[in-house]
Amino acid sequence: MKKLNVALEPLWQELSDCISVTETQLGQSSSSQTMSNINIGDHVQGTTSSSPLPPGAQRLLPFIEAFFVLCEKLQANLSIAQQDHANITAREVNESAGSSAFSTIQKKLDGGVTFTRFAEKHRRLLNAFIRQNPGLLEKSLSMLLKAPRLIDFDNKRAYFRSRIRQQHEQHLSGPLRISVRRAYVLEDSYNQLRMRPTLDLKGRLNVQFQGEEGIDAGGLTREWYQLLSRVIFDKGALLFTTVGNNATFQPNPNSVYQTEHLSYFKFVGRVVAKALFDGQLLDVYFTRSFYKHILGAKVTYHDIEAVDPDYYKNLKWMLENDVSDSLDLTFSMDADEEKHILYGKNEVTDYELKPGGRNIRVTEETKHEYVDLVAGHILTNAICPQIESFLEGFTELVPRELISIFNDKELELLISGLPEIDLDDLKANTEYTGYTAASSAIQWFWEVVKAFNKEDMARLLQFVTGTSKVPLEGFRALQGISGPQRFQIHKAYGAPDRLPSAHTCFNQLDLPEYTSKEQLQERLLLAIHEANEGFGFG
């Protein structure tokens, strides 16, 4: 198998060269300037329109399909190579440097990532093919699902909807009828849905509001989702709480005071999954860490910024500085500290982050472990029962392996939809520090953003504010960590080619003074698409 990989390498390189020529033509035919290695999307919500494929592109598809099919057949060999890659430590590489052993290691790595390199290089054309024929992602190009970050959001969404339709077809169910009172929409919906078998939940929802004559042709179902989500996420229900700028929700640690609270969280998980199953949008926005819990992704200390930016700043300082002689910390959190961070939680006790943690001092060597454990405790352990109950209900309808093709930002767009962003309103409610509205960098910024499609506009808003939610009153009502806080653009100093960064708790974009509009466009697109953690205090 390994020899076959090596033998075929020149063939794949030749195919790659041919594709590169075609991609140049594709780039020239596009009305917007893009980077070949960045997923910027050529689409808007509800459409799959894109620049037409350039002449000759279709003739390359059979060869690309052959490459993908062969890669799938060699998956066993790929898996072994990837495992080898994981097992090669930095120490082994360093010890082998300059030797024949190092050459062997490098060959192992190269052989195992041939497919990924190829797909990364040609992601734009691959996505154009899939956009034209979505069935490719379920058949010959299915290997791309092993690297979902290379798939454009609209293609992922189309694949998700296709898989959901297949579930509908495989499990033909009768209508799911419920009758609820508007004044008791949560209680009535909970009582009628919580015990229904999973198969019943896959049926078409038919809602009747008691005392009303309306027939549900789709409108009543949409209204039911809207009414129910408002009540579920109302503070009086005690199930969810807002954090940070009060625009995003996550489970409330105090939900224990709500009768049958875990049963309610399972119900809410079912409702959110049912909305996805039905293609309905919810007017609710979760914290980044909660989206990660739904996806099964690891939360990091960066996610604490949405909860407590000062505490996040302290953790970041720890990681960037030598703490050998400056801190007196142990692997524990005291009661006052935990109470402050965990959103006003009552009756807390000292918590050990690891067995015997009160007696284990944090050192320069162990500070990364300490920060990881703190993040896990604050964002997971404190609300673990609520998270698990929500996921129990959610995964009844939407399998984890299907939803996990999305990242946390895309999951927000899938659940809540792409927002309508009034660029003139955003521009009118933006404040500048280090720049003025007349600065070249600012003029370029708004010209670049004006050319964005809806998805990129949403990604920019997520990058700077932490969510794609637009306030009902417009951007003048945008909230920060301490109250009203308009969109901010600050001049960033340092390396002229550094990426823009953001402080989501302050709705602040740190924008370097680039030398050209093209450089600003390239750096901004890279930041909003590829930056895993788009914020920082550095």
Q: Give residue limits of the domains in the chain.
A: 2-166, 176-294+385-415, 301-379, 418-530
Alpha-helix runs per DSSP H in 46-113: 57-73, 75-87, 90-96, 100-112
Alpha-helix runs per DSSP H in 245-333: 261-278, 288-295, 309-320
Arithmetic mean of pLDDT over the chain: 82
With beta carbons less than 8 A apart as the criterion, state whether 481 and 244 touch: yes
Residues of the chain with pLDDT under 50: 30-49, 82, 86, 88-112, 338-340, 342-349, 533-538
Provide the token pair at 155.
């293609």
pLDDT on residue 463: 93
Task: Look at the block and give the residue holding tokens 């694949």.
Answer: 159
Provide the token pair at 213.
């004559």
User: Which 3 state secondary structure label does DSSP give 222?
Assistant: helix
pLDDT on residue 417: 92
Q: CB count, 10 Å around CB of 502?
A: 26
With beta carbons less than 8 A apart as the criterion, state whether 185 and 228 touch: yes
Q: Is the dihedral of CA 455, 461, 466, 471 positive or negative?
A: negative
CA 60 – CA 21 distance, rounded (Å) = 11
Measured at the CA of 514, the angle between CA 512 and CA 518, to 5 degrees, comes to 130
123 sits in which H/E element: helix 123-132
- Answer whether 301-379 and 418-530 agree in fold: no
With beta carbons less than 8 A apart as the criterion, state whether 345 and 337 touch: no
With beta carbons less than 8 A apart as the criterion, state whether 531 and 288 touch: no
Provide the token pair at 196.
């229904």
The upper half-sphere exposure of residue 355, i.e. CA atoms within 13 Å in the direction of its Cβ, equals 0
Query: Which amino acid type is present at position 220?
Result: L
CA neighbor of 527 nearest in space, from 536, 416, 23? 536
Q: Which CATH number fits domain 301-379: 3.30.2160.10, 3.40.50.10800, 3.40.50.150, 3.20.20.70?
A: 3.30.2160.10
CA 16 – CA 332 distance, rounded (Å) = 53
Query: Which amino acid type is present at position 264?
Result: Y
CA distances for 441 relative to 222, 252, 361, 465, 516, angstroms: 43, 42, 47, 20, 8
pLDDT on residue 435: 97
Task: Look at the block and give the residue holding tokens 């495989």.
Answer: 170
Residue 28: Cβ-neighbour burial (10 angstroms; 0-12, 13-18, 19+):
exposed
With beta carbons less than 8 A apart as the criterion, state whether 333 and 370 touch: no
Provide the token pair at 61.
């598809």
CA 291 – CA 297 distance, rounded (Å) = 8
pLDDT on residue 94: 42
Q: Considering the candidates 18, 71, 384, 505, report the single residue annotated as catalytic.
A: 505
E-only strand ranges, 202-346: 205-209, 240-243, 248-251, 332-333
Measured at the CA of 538, the angle between CA 408 and CA 526, to 5 degrees, comes to 45
Q: Is the dihedral of CA 102, 104, 108, 111 positive or negative?
A: positive
Query: Which amino acid type is present at position 199?
Result: L
With beta carbons less than 8 A apart as the criterion, state whether 413 and 468 touch: yes
Fold entry, domain 176-294+385-415: Hect, E3 ligase catalytic domain fold (3.90.1750)
pLDDT on residue 323: 85
**Any residues with CB less than 8 A from the CB of 425 and at least 6 apart, and which?**
474, 475, 476
pLDDT on residue 111: 41
CA 364 – CA 368 distance, rounded (Å) = 8
Please give the radius of gyration of the chain, using alpha carbons only, rounded to the nearest integer: 25
Annotated catalytic, 505? yes
pLDDT on residue 109: 35
pLDDT on residue 79: 54
Query: Pairing mode, if any, of strands 508-512 and 487-492?
Result: parallel
Which residues are paired to 433 by β-bridges?
A: 490
CATH class of the domain comprising 418-530: alpha beta
